[in-house]
Amino acid sequence: MKESHPADPIGQNLIKFISNVCFSVFVFSVLIFTVIAITYQPPDPWESSRTLTKVFTEVENATFQTDTSVLKTGEDISATPVGSPEPITEATIDKSEEGLNTVASKSGCEDVAVVNCSDPRVLTAIQRFNLNTFKAIAFLEYQAPVNGSKPDECDVSWRFRNKKEKSWRKYRDFRRFKMGFTDDCAYKVVRPGRWHSGVNARRPKIRVNPSTGNERTKIVPAIMDDDINDTIPVLPSDSAFRNGRYLYYSRGGDYCKGMNQYLWSFLCALGEAQYLNRTFVMDLSICLASTYTQTHKDEEGKDFRFYFDFEHLKEVASIVEEAEFLKDWKRWDKSHGMKIPVRKVASYKVTPMQLKRDKNTVIWRQFDTPEPENYWYRVCEGPAAKYIERPWQALWKSKRLMNIVSAISGSMDWDFDAVHVVRGEKAQNKEMWPHLDADTSPDAIVSKLQGIIEPWRNLYIATNEPFYNYFDKLRSHYKVHLLDDYSHLWGNTSEWYNETTNLNGGQTVEFDGYMRVEVDTEVLYRAKTRVETFYNLTKDCKNGINTCETG
């Protein structure tokens, strides 16, 4: 009979050691996961997303403030559609003049002192002058000239497009021209007026006379852009509402975040609606993040139409405004005694592909979980990124703001250079940007620009430097223009002020930080020579030390 022995102590210790190691790994994993869940901040979609096209990752002037860059939007990449008016060229002017050659010329030029603004040759002279003078502009159509304030003056209105803007939107200018005659008695432009100087060529508004209700009266108001139609669409009937298919997003964690995150999320939602062939229910109310406000606090109640072109969005995407949608929904439920079929989706993890065949009238995505689980753009992450395309072409900047851009550029006759001067918090952070403050000092800027921009050129300075007189030393070398020089364009007598006040229910609208950056960005983009802070004024890296290679 064999003698029994106790179990091998080495084997027991090994088993115990392995168990302890496994348990420790499990506890450590749980701890790490917990820490990540608490501290997770989603990556900046503008820098890390592989679904973002190159044109949007390379934002040329995205350094006004941290996280407050203005992206190129649809009007920067759109192809001009078929049927858009062709720009006027030398050939079209020559063709117009051929038909005028049969008109009797002045007999002996005895009446050369008389300028007849209704003479078609006045218009061709102005067209040719504009074409040779304003090289950055594509002229689309002209109105017939009218008399100015003096016998030798003519006021002319035209529609145009800047050649650097690829949208088919048209802008309007009207100028006063002093006219004269050449040696062979042909009309010539002696001197052009400034931007919007030809006030007699403004197209009068025709409004209903309130005293009669139908008699129409011509009224010449302050300059207005009557092409803008950003009214809220209304469904024509209950049946149209019931027969529709809608995608409705509740507010999520993107609300009050930076504008770029808002846009990234909004276009994700719009892209999903297009993928599902549904009408997107759109909340026009925006919360402007504190980085753009004078109070340095988040401000709710901003209107999407202050910043972006709602009219264009209506034309290219199927949308309905949230308040109208909820009103129609409530009216249907009340009047028909039956509920509209609704599918509520509580998690972004339910993919658009899973909803493709859903027949409910409303798909209601709800974002009630904590951040970052409640960001709209998470719907488009993972496998969905292969199916959802963000409709960038649907998003244009507000034409009201673009009218200000045109006014600033036009006041410099579209012939100017620009420098982008980034200072602010970056200039104070010597650890990340050790040379920026010195490299953007007035003396340093003057020294740098003198080798790039010719003296006494119009120089537009796009900057986040708050002190207006900071750039006074440049005035000894250039005709300096700053955004605040044009504050009358959004002041209380301006077109922008009147239209945004009306849009805002009679309440005045602040020309806020994001609007300033949008306008600064677009004017900068139209300059003939553009000097950037990073890569031109300073050797510091755009995103801090050791980031120059990665940009």
Q: Digits of tens for pLDDT over the chain (551 positions)?
A: 444 455 456 666 666 666 666 666 665 665 554 443 333 333 333 333 333 333 333 333 322 233 345 556 666 655 555 446 788 899 888 888 876 755 445 444 655 668 999 999 999 999 999 999 999 999 999 999 999 999 999 999 999 998 888 777 889 999 999 999 998 889 999 999 999 999 999 866 444 344 444 434 343 344 456 678 888 888 777 777 888 999 999 999 999 999 999 999 999 999 999 999 999 999 999 999 998 999 999 999 999 999 999 999 999 999 999 999 999 998 888 887 788 999 999 999 999 999 999 999 999 999 999 999 999 999 999 999 999 999 999 999 999 999 999 999 999 999 999 999 999 889 999 999 999 999 999 999 999 999 899 999 999 999 999 999 999 999 999 999 999 999 999 999 999 999 999 999 999 999 999 999 999 999 999 999 999 999 899 999 988 988 886 55
Tell me what pLDDT residue 414 has. Answer: 94
Helix (H, G, I), strand (E, B) or coil at 286: strand
Tell me what pLDDT residue 42 has. Answer: 38
Tell me what pLDDT residue 113 has. Answer: 66
Per CATH, the number for 229-394 is: 3.40.50
Tell me what pLDDT residue 236 has. Answer: 72
Tell me what pLDDT residue 249 has. Answer: 98
Tell me what pLDDT residue 71 has. Answer: 59
Residue 112 CB-half CA count within 13 A: 12
Instruction: Compute the C-alpha angle 90/199/139, nearest 5°.
Output: 20
Backbone Cα Rg of the chain: 31
Single pTM value for the model: 0.80
Give the separation between CA 381 and CA 55, rounded to whole angstroms.
Answer: 20
Helix (H, G, I), strand (E, B) or coil at 309: coil
Measured over the CA atoms of residue 65, residue 43, residue 380 and residue 351, the dihedral's sign is negative
Q: Which residue has the tokens 């796009």?
A: 462
Report yes or no: 51 and 380 within 8 Å, Cβ to Cβ.
Answer: yes
Outline where DSSP puts E strands in 65-152. 137-142, 146-147
Using CA atoms, how far residue 105 sits from 101, 109, 445, 465, in Å, is 8, 8, 56, 58
- Please report, as a single letter, which amino acid is at residue 293: T
Give the separation between CA 377 and CA 267, rounded to whole angstroms.
Answer: 8
Query: Which tokens sit at 339?
Result: 């509920």
Tell me what pLDDT residue 307 has. Answer: 96
Give the separation between CA 16 and CA 451, rounded to whole angstroms.
Answer: 76
Give the separation between CA 284 and CA 528, rounded to whole angstroms.
Answer: 36
Q: What percent of the chain is helix, strand and coil (3-state, nearest 5)? A: 40, 15, 45
Query: Which tokens sit at 67?
Result: 């996280």
Report yes or no: 456 and 477 within 8 Å, Cβ to Cβ.
Answer: yes
For 117, residues 6+ apart whose C-beta sits below 8 A from its C-beta are 145, 146, 147, 148, 154, 155, 179
